[in-house]
Amino acid sequence: MGNTRKRALWLRWVAANALGEVFGLGGTFAVDALAISRLGDLPGVIFVLVSFLVAVLSGAIEATIVGLAQWWAMHPWFQAITRRAWWSATLVGALVAYVLGYLPSTIMHLSEQAATPQAAAAAQPGAEPAQWIILLLAAGMGLVGGAVLSFAQWLVLRNRVTGAGWWITANMLAWMAGMPLIFWGIDAAQKGQPVWQAVLLMVGVLCLAGVVVGGIHGLFLVKLAGSE
């Protein structure tokens, strides 16, 4: 494949991921925030469980938008891969990743709800970790989450391209770089600024995260396109 076609694929892929994260992950965050604001009157345990369910299911928004955008970008070079196959793989990977990502905090919150009033009163809130620690943990989460997200996509690729196993590595590296950006953006958007500024900040951060993530695993995709 010539350099011009390689560049065209990479640029389409980066643009698709940038827009996909802005509208997909942005939409997911918006649904989560709206749902949490409406669920505040539920009893403690029910609130935690329903919040977990909403958070996981809202991941379908990101998976659908990103999956379809990615398929549009790659289709001219990977015509054997159907839109339904890529979307389904992206959806499954995202939902599993969301379950694994939200499960620890959900279990912790359920434990807090189950504690006796005396134990709850005695518990002292711990100091928030330094931001560099949070971002380092976010990178680790991205490393693991990238593998989970891409596994089902690898199943779609493996019988169609040579070296498809690199796709999992590509996503691990991409999300290791992208996840800290998202965590930083969420923290920066909660500094007390007007809502419109917080929204614009998150749009910019999600776009940048999509560019970084798409740029990294897009390099691997270009290599795979030459071996289809």
Tell me if 10 sits within 8 A of 226, measured CB to CB.
no
pTM over 0.85: yes
Cα separation, 146 vs 141, whole angstroms: 8
Cα separation, 170 vs 76, whole angstroms: 21
Backbone angles phi, psi at 217, to 5 degrees: -75, -10
| Sole residue written with tokens 């345990």 | 45
Averaged pLDDT for residues 130-152: 94
Q: Other C-beta atoms within 10 Å of 9: how many? A: 22
Cα separation, 136 vs 125, whole angstroms: 22
Which of 67-76, 122-131, 200-209 bottoms out in mean pLDDT, i.e. has the lowest?
A: 122-131
Residue 126 pLDDT: 58
- Res. 47: pLDDT tops 70: yes
Which of 17-21, 147-151, 152-156, 222-226 bottoms out in mean pLDDT, i.e. has the lowest?
A: 222-226
Mean pLDDT of the chain: 90
Averaged pLDDT for residues 80-88: 96
- Res. 139: pLDDT tops 80: yes
- Res. 77: pLDDT tops 60: yes
Cα separation, 100 vs 146, whole angstroms: 12
Q: Which amino acid is at 125?
A: P
Residue 37 pLDDT: 85
- Res. 176: pLDDT tops 70: yes
pLDDT class of 2 with cuts at 50, 70, 90: confident
